Amino acid sequence: MNRKAAVRLLTVSFVLIFSVLACNLPGRDVQPTPSEPTPNMTMTALFSIVTKAPGISTPVVQVTATPGTEVSATQPPPTNTVPPIVISTATSSLPLVTNTPKATEAVRSAGKAVAGYMSTAPKLDGPWDEWTTTAYPARFAVYGKSEISGKEDLEGSYRVGWDDSNLYLAVKVYDEKYVQNATGIELFKGDSIELLFDVDLMGDVSSTQLNSDDYQLVFSPGKGGVIGEKETYLFYPTNVAGPRTQVRIAAVYGSGVLRAEIAIPWSVLGVTPTSGKQFGFAVSIGDNDNESQNIQQSMVSNVQYRSLSDPTTWALLELKK
């Protein structure tokens, strides 16, 4: 071996010996490299992680626009969080503004009737011969339509008037058979006349529920016949329900036609009448042709979609001088 080859062999040997010694130097901890990093969190934090199951996408929140408004494509979706109500105790010199407009005239899809002022009170005898106010139809079947065989079975019309003491109602009813044997709270289970009257129309013009200013009165033209005892029963408001003997009724019946006139004191309705005043209003006629049973078989009305429990379905009545 020449000198150059010997130096090369010595150098390689020295490098190998140094590498072995370096791997075993004190303080070096030899461990395998972990395949995943260990989570650096508490157990509570660890289990608070929400995972998503495979195949389930994140739900898309849809933004619904109010009619007449536009929702921008970049607008963030609304949250379900209700902002807290902040009550301020600071005083302000600005007037309080309310969003509830005060109605000045009601609108009713069922139409309007006018009650003319009667400078001379009508003679209560049944027929409306001396009346000069408009006659309105009451022939919409609102209950038991299948029980009505035709005009001669049940159809009606009415007139309405007023003075400072009374609201006057006159009706003419085609009814081939007069049957009224009920009384008191069952008065409607026989041939009868009904008045629905919203006293405070402007105060709750949009209310679809009965309240203390809505009245339902039912009138009997005569028990057992028109020469029998007349009767009036107030059904609503329920807290003052009962007979109303102050109401006067006159009726005649013949040739399949019932004629009746009714005087209702304004005190029964709690009203002080003035020209131009408006009320919710419906006139309906109940029928029973079953002499052996007290039952309401059918009803016609001046209001096509009459609903007792929804005063907004009633018509409009205006007092006029």
Please report the DSSP string for 107-143 in residue order.
Answer: --TT-EEEEEE-SSPPP-SS--TT--SPPEEE-EEEE
33 Cβ contact partners less than 8 Å away, ≥ 6 residues apart: none
* Residue at 21 is within a domain: no
Kindly provide the residue ranges of all beta strands, DSSP E only, lying in the chain, ordered along the sequence: 112-117, 136-138, 140-143, 155-162, 166-174, 192-198, 214-220, 231-236, 242-243, 248-254, 257-265, 278-287, 298-301, 315-320
* Residue at 202 is within a domain: yes
* Residue at 121 is within a domain: yes
* Residue at 257 is within a domain: yes
- Please tell me the total count of domains within the chain: 1
- The sign of the torsion formed by the CA atoms of 298, 278, 204, 248 equals negative
**Local mean pLDDT, 10-residue blocks, the chain (321 residues):** 58 52 44 36 32 34 33 33 38 38 67 97 97 97 96 97 98 98 98 97 92 97 98 97 98 98 98 97 98 97 96 97 95
Q: What CATH number is attached to the domain comprising 313? A: 2.60.40.1190
* Residue at 36 is within a domain: no
Range of the domain at 284: 114-320
Residue-level pLDDT at 5: 59
* Residue at 191 is within a domain: yes
Residue-level pLDDT at 11: 59
- CA–CA distance, 312 with 306 (Å, rounded to integer): 9
- CA–CA distance, 19 with 62 (Å, rounded to integer): 67
pLDDT 10s digits, 220-279: 999 999 999 999 999 999 999 999 999 999 999 999 999 999 999 999 999 999 999 999
* Residue at 186 is within a domain: yes
* Residue at 195 is within a domain: yes
